[in-house]
Amino acid sequence: MYKNYYDLVLTEIQRALSKISNDSIEELIANITNPRRIFIAGRGRTGLLMKSFAIRLMQMGFEVYVVGESITPAIKANDMLIVGSGSGETESLVAITEKAKRLGAKVTLITMYKESTIASKADSVFVIPAKGSKVDKDADSDSKQPMCNLFEQTLLILMDILTLIIIDQKNIDIKTLYDRHANLE
């Protein structure tokens, strides 16, 4: 039984990742690496994965903050807000996106749905082709897994791939990541 599910999950992740174009990856990396400061937002399981990406960005030397943390400063013009939302409809993230735009920040959305409320407000939309059943439980899904599992799994792997690309492009020494790793754990 385990082997069947193992094969299912890995096949679905590989299929989703294979549908992502190099051009969209290059645009996403430019959105990550060009701004002065990066703000990360997400909710639920996707939010936890976005926080994990914020950790990697910090370890690579970026000035990065997680929206909602008590030490997160004010977002300003020319900052980048990166929102992770499978549905693109999470109400609190819609409000955060709207406020960031009013303050002059750029917004990049990582989502399953190009046609969503947050997508309509974002400067850039990166679609992970891993539809789940959360938005419309009767909708056709690319996955046999429940809810947004495939999106979240693919998001995690994608962010790890982005980390490798950025490390390579910026010639970041891996030792530097360890030097910035939390040491008060």
Q: What is the DSSP letter of 170?
A: T
Which entry of 63, 89, 152, 185 is annotated as an active-site residue? Answer: 152
* Tokens coding 33: 């690496």
Q: How far apart are CA 151 and CA 40, in angstroms?
A: 17
Q: How far apart are CA 88 and CA 114, in angstroms?
A: 8
SS3 assignment, position 84: strand
- Amino acid letter at 177? L
* Cβ–Cβ under 8 Å, residues 57 and 32: yes
86 Cβ contact partners less than 8 Å away, ≥ 6 residues apart: 46, 111, 112, 113, 132, 134, 135, 148, 151, 152
152 in catalytic set: yes
Long-range contacts of 72-75 (CB under 8 A, 24+ apart): 72/39, 74/103, 75/37, 75/39, 75/99, 75/100, 75/103, 75/105
**Catalytic residue ranges:** 152
